[in-house]
Structure 1
Amino acid sequence: MEQIASVSALFSPTAALGLLVALLTAVLVRYLLPNASHKPPYPPCIRGWIPWFGAAFEMGKAPLEFIARAKEKHGPVFTVLAAGNRLTFLNGKEGVSAFFSSKDADFQQAVQKPVQHTASINKADFMKSHSSIHETMKLRLSQNRLNLYFDRIRNEFGTRIELLDPEGTEDLFTLVKQVMYPAVVDTLFGKGLCPTGKDNLKEFAEHFWKFDEGFEYGSQLPEFLLRDWSQSKQWLLSLFKKIVIEAEMNNPLEETSKTLHQHVLDTLKGIATYNNSLLLLWASQANANPVTFWTLAFIISDPLVYKTAMDEIYSVFGKTGNSPLNINEAELKRLPFIKNCVLEAIRLRSPGAITRKAVQPLKIYNYIIPAGDLLMLSPYWLHRDPVLFPEPEMFRPERWSKANLEKNVFLEGFVAFGGGKYQCPGRWFALMEMHMLVVMMLYKYEFSLLDPLPKQVASIEDAQETGDCKEIICILMAATVIYNVPYNVPYGSAF
């Protein structure tokens, strides 16, 4: 009887009123005082319709357009489910700041698996050595140490340029690689350590460029799906085992006599030495070659820019001639317009996305991004913000006159070299080498484009038209040029 009485008491008018008051109170606390119990929502999510694959196919067809449409529809933060991953794209000041500055946005965890796939470095070895390698590179390639490399790389560039034919018709990207690859490798690894001569360069170059061209796929997919790429990777790793042995046998005690490669080997202390050596080679070539190509292509394709660049060169060195250009550091600093051309080419041809990993939940723009998400930032679209970069699609080197490059301050919104703790450690060396090579090639030759300026591919359809079918941002290196030694012929005679 007591049980029946207590149950019936639950349905008395007084109890019902009390329950209603409690429910209303809970609702008020939840919705009128959100900080007390209501958590911000997850970002809008684009899921696609195929399990696991999600929106991967849709995004892969036209990644740049996909990102732009998603931002327009969903705002500055949105998540894409693709190939089993949650990719959360960040935009705007708050998003960019969190991407580069938050302790919960981790670079190492974002890149560990791609590094393991491309260079066979296991997680334990990567986590143990990555920070120390980064600090070594940052120190050895800092601005106040560039003088240690300047004369060497200038001489290497000069030697390689002199080996080119005095005139001819050639693919511009091939022309750049013929000079930059051996010169930079001999500078950073030591003369003759890597194959850079006529007798041994061809096979090495074939494997390296195959490795480079498939790098994005190789960083994500199992090797059995990429047979040719995997064979080139294993060929290169086998070669670097021999290169590391020779570099360590001839490693000098004096710090200033060591190559950058030997400094890295000292830092590694035997951990994944040949694997990291392959990554060092790739890092030295993967961006410098295409940016140098694009800088020359942009300059040559615009008569006014070309004339301005040549006038600057003439103002420092006089009219061009047959002798190699023995440029020094002070003279290179007197060529700011050409350096601005390099930076503008970098702005226009930066990658579609860079990544970090959320290791703890992140609150951005009133959204909670869960731990485990891959955070994505698009330099391509950030560099096309018309507020920060007026006429963003135009090649305008003069915009860089507003940057304080003497104090290492780039333009606001320029993120090509990354940011935060893991900003590109080789950025100053890269700017120096690209600036120098562009000057030396413009001084040596008069160029005339035979093809229209190639474009940056935004979709699979565009890529199929040109034969380049990567499912990422594809850059075409197909400009053909006529080049010839001017022999003091007045500017413009080649047009």
Structure 2
Amino acid sequence: MELISPTVIIILGFLALLLFFQRKNLRGPPCIRGWIPWIGAGFEFVKAPLEFIEKARIKYGPVFTVFVMGTRMTFVTEEEGINVFLKSKEVNFELAVQKPVYRTASIPKNIFLTLHEKLYVTIKGKIGTVNLYQFTGQLTEELHEQLEKLGTHGTMELSNFVRHLLYPVSVNILFQKGLFPTNERKIREFHQHFQAYDEGFEYGSQMPECLLSHWSKSKKWLLALFEKNIPDIKTYRSAKDNSVTLMQTLLDIIEMERNEEKSPNYGLLILWASLSNAVPVAFWTLGFVLSHPSVHKTIVEGISSVFGTAGKDKIKVSEDDLKKLPLIRWCILETLRLRAPGIITRKVMKPVQILNYTVPSGDLLMLSPFWLHRNPKYFPEPEVFKPERWKKANLEKNAFLDGFMAFGSGKYQCPGREIQETTFCLVGWSDCTMSLWECLRWLLMGDFIRTKYDSRSCMMKAGFRFQMFSFPMRIHSKLLEFYLLEN
């Protein structure tokens, strides 16, 4: 008995040490819970999510958890955590966004998980680098057409100008030529409902639809629009080359899986993914360029050197022409850096180790491109608009600067990044009887005078000789980005 007792004590001591070290290794990140059950820190978080994240990082360190609306969100802000977010097999993108996709487009989980991979691969192949040349001429033609409709003189807020230009261009190219309305009343109705849907998207992705009556009304209006037009979209063929649109290609896959009743829902998601990204970036690119006269002057001179002085003839632009104007692309990428998504996400499937913490399964692992792009380690003078910094990037091979996350990374990197860049480049040079940059001077009826910019509130106030506008094109701080076109 005397021999057994020490043995038992040693075994128990060993087990106690093992449990101690296991408990130590399973130590989770510091958690901001708030004091209200289920809501947690929700009230403080939703007031100013980006500021909340940065203050929490300063106070708690590079890894921390926020409990909001019954959900644990663990944020990573430094290299080790970012590598886990991008490369770990224990985190999943699809499951992180499935619920928001259901709330915002009414696509059930089983259909979403069945179609996601196939649709993503199709989109990547359809509008990726290899097939990009097919869109350049079409984009040019559509932009010319929309500029001509604006007439030769007048005034318009820059935000509305970008919407009037890109809404019809995107819809006619991605879905069907002529799908976008031409009647003035119907155009206003489309703008009204899409803007309401887009502006309420963050709330719609997290809250029951019955609590958001205005947003729900616009969602139903857009779904009805697609339900009415899906038969025509299916049979549409281009009069020029008999080619099919992106939406037609996706409809073939959806029908192949016998889920055609959800075709309007996928139409809504494609519409939102294209317009909610293109419009803010085009707006801010133009705003930044106009607020930096030396950059604006260099761009105009570059356009003149490639295409000659402005005239009445339409300019035909090729991909090679765009390569001769690298500053335009640098301006777009610098805008994407400064106006990156607030948050992107993955779901933790099995516990993952980050620094000295264990992030448990079920957590949403969160990364903020907005703050990553303001890390001086990667981007000196991070708050300054410096397009020339992109001269160091090997853009011919789509190799961006270290720390750049506007298009995401890994398996579900944004498949539409090339066509987005091309669209913005075309917006940068397209002309009716003059370059668009000169067109903007005419549009705003006066030379640019001053810009006041607050990076925290994302407010740009631009003063013009005959017109003043103040348009807060918000940063997309969506907790969960669109499942196909994640940024």
CA displacement 1:288-320 (0-9 Å, x = unmatched): 111001001000001111112222212212233
SS at match of 1:79: strand
Q: Contact between 2:375 and 2:382, CA under 8 Å: does it hold in 1?
A: yes
Secondary structure in 2 matching 1:195: coil
- The offset of 1:237, in angstroms, is 0.6
CA distance in 1, matches of 2:208, 2:141: 42
Match of 2:379 among 365, 368, 389: 389
Aligned to 1:150: 136
Residues 61 and 459 in structure 1, CA contact (< 8 A), matched pair in contact too? no
The alignment status of 1:343 with 2:333, answered yes or no, reads: yes
Superposed displacement of residue 328, structure 1:
2.3
2:413 alignment counterpart:
423
| Superposition pairs of residues 48-87 of structure 1, within 5 angstroms | 48-87=34-73
Using structure 1 for the length normalisation, give the TM-score: 0.85
Which secondary structure does the structure 2 equivalent of 1:200 belong to? Answer: helix
* Pairwise CA distance, 1:471: 11
TM (norm. structure 2) is: 0.86
Evaluate the alpha carbon distance shift between residue 117 and residue 255 of structure 1 in structure 2; reply closer, same or farther with a 3 A threshold: farther
CA distance in 2, matches of 1:220, 1:346: 26
**CA apart distance, 1:208:** 1.3
CA distance in 2, matches of 1:221, 1:449: 42
Alignment of 1:269-348 (within 5 A): 269=255, 270-271=258-259, 272-348=262-338
Deviation at 1:323, TM superposition (A): 3.8
Q: Name the CA distance, whole Å, in 2 between partners of 1:147 and 1:313.
A: 20
Task: Report how far residue 184 of structure 1 moved.
Answer: 1.7
1:214-248 Cα offsets, whole Å, 9 max, x none, are: 11111111111111110111111111111111122
Which runs of structure 2 are paired with 1:239-254 in the superposition (5 Å)?
Answer: 239-250=225-236
Match of 1:39 among 22, 25, 37: 25
SS at match of 1:220: coil
**Where does 1:22-421 land on structure 2 (aligned, <5 Å)?**
24-26=13-15, 34=21, 39-198=25-184, 200-250=186-236, 257-269=243-255, 270-271=258-259, 272-421=262-411
> In 2 relative to 1, CA 427–197 (structure 1 residues): closer, same or farther, beyond 3 Å?
farther
- Aligned residue for 2:400, secondary structure, equals coil
Which amino acid is 1:169 matched to? T
Distance in 1 separating the partners of 2:381 and 2:75: 24
Aligned-partner Cα distance in 1 for 2:362–2:69: 14
2:437 to 429, 434, 442: 442
The change in CA–CA distance for 1:89 and 1:355 in structure 2 (over 3 A counts) is same
Amino acid at match of 2:117: S
Between stretches 20-29 and 377-386, larger displacement belongs to 20-29
Letter matched to residue 358 of structure 2: I
Aligned-partner SS, 2:26: coil
Show structure 2 runs of 5+ residues with no match: 431-435, 460-469, 479-487
Mapped to 1, the partners of 2:27 and 2:233 lie a distance apart of 54
AA aligned opposite 2:162:
V
SS at match of 2:119: helix
Q: 1:458 to 1:51 in 2, by over 3 A?
A: farther
Distance 1:205 1:165 in 2: 20
Percentage identity across paired residues of the two chains: 44
1:135/1:215 CA distance change after superposition, 3 Å: same
CA deviations over 1:260-290 (Å, ceiling 9, x no partner): 1101101111521110011111111101111
Change in Cα spacing, 1:469 to 1:159, as seen in structure 2 (3 Å) is: closer
Change (3 A) 1:402 1:471: closer
Q: Match of 2:411, SS?
A: helix
Query: Are the counterparts in 1 of residues 25 and 356 from structure 2 also a CA contact under 8 Å?
Result: no
Pairwise CA distance, 1:17: 6.4
RMSD (Å) for aligned C-alpha atoms? 2.7
Separation of aligned partners in 1, 2:474 and 2:211: 15
- Amino acid aligned to 1:59: F
* 8 Å contact kept, 1:344–1:396: yes
Change (3 A) 1:455 1:240: farther
Return 267-276 or 441-450, whichever deviates more. 441-450
Helix, strand or coil: the match of 2:396?
helix
Q: What's the secondary structure of 1:421's corresponding residue? A: coil
Residue 180 (structure 1) shift: 1.0
Larger CA deviation: 437-446 vs 102-111: 437-446
Q: Kindly provide the CA deviation profile for residues 427-483 of structure 1, in whole angstroms up to 9, marking residues without a partner as x.
A: 1111100111122221544364466345455499xxxxx897999749xxxxxxxxx
- CA shift, 1:327, in A, is 2.2
Task: State the SS of the aligned residue for 2:155.
Answer: strand
Structure 1 residue runs of 5 or longer lacking an equivalent are 1-8, 461-465, 475-495
TM-aligned CA deviation for residue 167 of structure 1:
3.4
* 2:342 partner SS: coil
* Structure showing greater Rg: 1
Name which of structure 1's ranges 435-444 and 132-141 shifts more when overlaid on structure 2: 435-444
Give yes or no for contact 2:96–2:345 (8 Å, CA) kept in 1: yes
Distance 2:457 2:63 in 1: 21
Counterpart of 1:86 in 2: which secondary structure?
Answer: strand
Number of residue equivalences: 454
**Whole-angstrom distance in 2 between the partners of 1:127 and 1:212:** 24
Shift of 1:204: 1.8
Cα distance in 2 between the residues matched to 1:380 and 1:146: 28
Cα drift, residue 62 of structure 1: 2.2
- CA distance in 2 between partners of 1:25 and 1:420 (Å): 42
- What CA deviation, in whole Å up to 9, does each residue of 1:157-200 have, x standing for no partner? 01111222433432111111111111121111121124255463
Q: CA deviation at 1:75?
A: 1.8
Give the match's secondary structure for 1:320. coil
